[in-house]
Amino acid sequence: MTTLTDRPAPSASFPPPTPTGVSAGSGSGTVPTQQETTFTPPPEAPITEVRRQTSGLRMIDLLSAGGAAVASVSLTALLFTQLAPVSGPIAFAVIAYLLFVGIYALLVSFDEPGPAVRDRIVLVAVHSLAWTVLATLVFVVTFTIVKGADALPHLNFFTQDMSLAGPLDPLTTGGVLHAILGTLIQITIALIITIPLGITTALYLGEVPGRFSRFVRTIVEAMTALPSIVSGLFIFATFILILGVEKSGFAASLAISVMMLPIMIRAADVVFRLVPGTLKEASIGLGAGQWKTVWHVVLPTSRSGLTTAIILATARGIGETSPVLLTSGFTASLNVDPFHGPMVSLPLAVFQFVKSPEPTMIARGFGTAAVLMLLVLLLFIVARIIGGQTLAVTEKRRERLLRFTAAFRSVFAPLGAKITGAAAPALAGGKARVDSYFADRDKRLQSEARPANETAALLTATEPIGVLDDNDLATLPHPAPAASAGPADIRDDKPETPEDTK
Amino acid sequence: MSLDSPRQLTTLRDPADIVFRTVARSGGVIVLSIMLLVGVFLAFRASQALSVAGFSFLTEQAWEPDSGRFGIAAVIVGTILIALVAIVIAVPLAIGTALYITEYAPRWFRSILIGLVDIMAAIPSVVYGLWGFFFLQGNITPISKWISQTFGWIPIFAVDGADPNDPLSSVTVYTSSTFIAGIVVAFMITPIITSIMREVFGQAPLGEREGALALGSTRWGMIKSVVLPFGRGGMIGGTMLGLGRALGETIAVYMIISPVFVIQPHILQNGASSVSSLIALRYGEATPFGLSALMAAGLALFLMTLVVNFAASTIVARSRSGASS
């Protein structure tokens, strides 16, 4: 019975059947009344505290920051032009920055006490560190794309391989079709191996607990530490040297699989563990077996998280160079047969191109890197969209689509009737369908409002999610280790909550 | 926040469940055997070289397996130095970014920032390598030069063959160094460390935060007395996970350094080494015995990252902030 007092019992608690004269919240525990109905007080509303923003900007802050910026840049310019012990843009930025911090602290100290001055210095430091990271990210991306811009506009870059293009040939001949196809083939084979194996193993770890599965989990966690080059070396030494298989795209796929498998298992395991126990218990309570529970509850609930895990592991697998370098080898010509002959991948092609001193080859290298990066970014955005899909979002989208079709029809239905009388019944039927959908939906939402509230209360009772803000809902479970998937993911997959129904 | 688990139930399983459990268990067994095979095979092949080299494997600097003189002293030291440079640069950046995301950034900007940091983690290492080789290499040498001239009296910043009094001296002694490789690796591991720190900082209890602010502390005072102590476990754990990645990084380091097989303690000087780039450099021309020696080096690297990763996950799990994750 302890569980019943820990969590409010749904049937009795919401809404309180308030008897005359007794207010529901007045007593703790059960309140006997004249009618002798027994009920528990309503559950406390799920507390979702919103953190207050404690910033406030004043004119003096802006003035001192701006003044310090101007002073530091001028001082640094003076230093560089008159004294000049160093040179270079990076050195200029570093010195200007240090001077800025110093001058700013001095300005603030004129009218603020010590702790406030320290607060300001930290404020500047945190902002500049974060912006350094972001600027570097943007810079790395744009640097690659700008340098690759010479090669990218040529259509042949995407339709030819390098078999006919020598190092001195202009960018109008030769391309990286072989690398693009090679990457796609290799990652497809790797995914064919890792997805079934990875998800089955993750299900095993989550659903069949025991000493052996704990052991498997420990080993898998240990293997996430395996450096990618070592997995390449392993496949090289076993498949190629001992079994005598030639260097091929298939061997590269195996090496990538060995590297991706622990990452995927770990991410999927985290996602499965986030499926609320109450949902599984409900399924088992209704008489479903373990397999039915997994198929109808665990997998659908974690679908978006699982897709994200797979896509992010794919992004890691696509970007790895060293396993392919060891197991597949480099070729300049197109090879779509994964079992025979070397098959190049995008990162390996980049690596080979930039080894050459020729400017056109280096431009090709950057172009290839840009293609690779865009591929990874595309995967990432897809992951983001899928991971961000909640019931609320899909429902809203469906509603918008239906409203649009309804509006469309109401505009064009008279027109259509004028043109052909035969189409009119079909159009009218369509409108009736739309109308009945909305009527149904409203009815459903009304009737579901209460159960949905109860579900929310239950979930918050077991998983307090107060400290997370809405931005965290967008957080994806990261393939990289540990602490990544927050409880927010539970909220993502929860059946309709009150917010969803509005 | 405890994730509750299903209660223990005794049931008669129907055929579908038995099939499911068998398939799931066999999946686990296959994965386990692959993973164990990698480890055991590495150890087995490495033992051949290790039995020849003996204890000198840890102390010998040269890498000439076919003449019997080989050891990982130089490459392991090089790997650790690169990883340390990376950590020294990445940790402040990660702390700053994580604090900015959780404490300073406007609400609407947070989810964008989180997405950007995740994208940064997904960028392939070869792209960072390109950036390091074609941009950083040329632009960082003035700073290397200045550091070595100013702090050259500290042994690790000293550079042989550089004359501080000659303003026209060549900058090539400052290229392809541990320092530059470390910077590139730092930007690769910053997003990994950031995402863990962000996670634990965000979990710092609201009551304590507001208590600190109500007692009159500044925002930094609040961070120092609430957020950082709360997230200490996650900070250490995240740093070590980043260290694990930094130790194993291959291609970006391989593109930048020019390998040397002596212990090179001068981080600003041309010439560096790492275990993974040694493997990438030598696997092609290796004899069976040479390959066994490379396996031994790979095993040493693997054991090192393994220890670091396990320590990291233990620290994260034991800390107050990471107990639930």
In one-letter notation, the amino acid at residue B25 is R
Residue A122 has pLDDT above 80, yes or no: yes
Query: Does residue B115 fall inside a structural domain?
Result: yes
Is A115 part of the contact surface with chain B (CB cutoff 8 Å)?
Answer: yes
How many beta-carbon pairs below 8 A join chains A and B?
Answer: 365
Superfamily of domain A177-387, CATH level 4: MetI-like (1.10.3720.10)
Strand partners, B272: B259
Lowest mean pLDDT among A22-31, A201-210, B150-159: A22-31
Model confidence at A85: pLDDT above 80: no
8 Å CB contact between A308 and A335? no
Q: Do B291 and A241 touch (CB under 8 A)?
A: yes
Give the C-alpha separation, A316 to A256, whole Å: 9
Which secondary-structure segment (H or E) carries B63? strand B63-64
**What are the pLDDT digits (tens) for A157-175?**
888 887 777 777 777 777 8
For chain A, percent of residues with pLDDT exceeding 90? 9
Choose between A468 and A132: higher pLDDT. A132
Q: Do A472 and B279 touch (CB under 8 A)?
A: no
Q: What is the pTM of this model?
A: 0.75
Q: Is the ipTM of this complex over 0.90?
A: no
Q: H-helix or E-strand containing B69?
A: strand B69-70
In chain B, whose CA is at the least distance from the CA of A89?
B139
Does the pLDDT value for residue A424 go beyond 60?
no
Average pLDDT, chain B: 84
The dihedral built from the CA positions of residue B115, A202, B322 and A8, taken in this order, carries a sign that is positive
B283 touches chain A (CB under 8 A): yes
Q: For the purposes of burial, counting CB atoms within 10 Å of the CB of B236, is it exposed (0-12), middle (13-18) or buried (19 or more)?
A: middle
- Beta strand pairing call for B63-64 and B69-70: antiparallel
Range of the domain at B110: 53-318
Interchain contact B120–A (C-beta under 8 A): yes
B17 in a structural domain: no
Residue B10 lies in a domain: no
Residues of B in contact with A88 (CB under 8 A): 139, 142-143
Please tell me the distance from the alpha carbon of residue A487 to that of residue B261, in angstroms, as a whole number.
48
Confidence of residue B184 (pLDDT cuts 50, 70, 90): very high
- Residue A82 burial (CB < 10 Å; 0-12/13-18/19+)? exposed
* Contact predicate B82/B243, CB 8 Å: no
Q: Rounded CA gap, A268 and A387, in Å?
A: 13
**Domain locations in chain A as residue ranges:** 59-148, 177-387, 391-501
The pLDDT, as a whole number, for residue B190 is 92
% of chain B at pLDDT higher than 70:
92
What number is the average pLDDT over the span B64-85?
Answer: 87
Nearest to residue B72, comparing CAs of B85, B53, B87? B53
Residue of B nearest to A328 (CA): B284
* Helical residues (DSSP H) of A149-176, grouped into ranges: 156-159
Model confidence over A182-203: pLDDT tens digits? 899 999 999 999 999 999 999 9
Q: What is the rounded average pLDDT of the residues A436-461?
A: 48
Burial class (CB in 10 A: 0-12, 13-18, 19+), A404: exposed
Interface of A with B in 416-455 (CB under 8 A): none
Q: Does B35 map to a domain? A: no
Q: How confident is the model over A328-342, as pLDDT tens digits?
A: 878 888 887 888 888
Amino acid A392: pLDDT: 60
Average pLDDT of the residues in B18-26: 90
Number of domains in chain B: 1
Mean pLDDT of chain A: 73
In sequence order, the β-bridge partners of residue B270 are B177
What is the domain-level CATH number for residue B110?
A: 1.10.3720.10
Torsion angles phi and psi, residue B69, rounded to 5: -100, 95
Lowest mean pLDDT among A257-266, A431-440, B208-217, B249-258: A431-440
- Asked if residue B97 is part of any domain, the answer here is yes
d(CA A267, CA A254): 20
Any B CB within 8 A of A49 CB: yes
B251 contacts on A by Cβ (under 8 Å) = 321-322, 325, 347, 351
As a whole number of Å, the CA-based R_g of chain B is: 24
The Cα–Cα gap between A317 and A259 comes to 8
Beta bridge partners of B64: B69
Q: How far apart are CA B130 and CA B177, in angstroms?
A: 15
Q: B99 lies in a domain?
A: yes
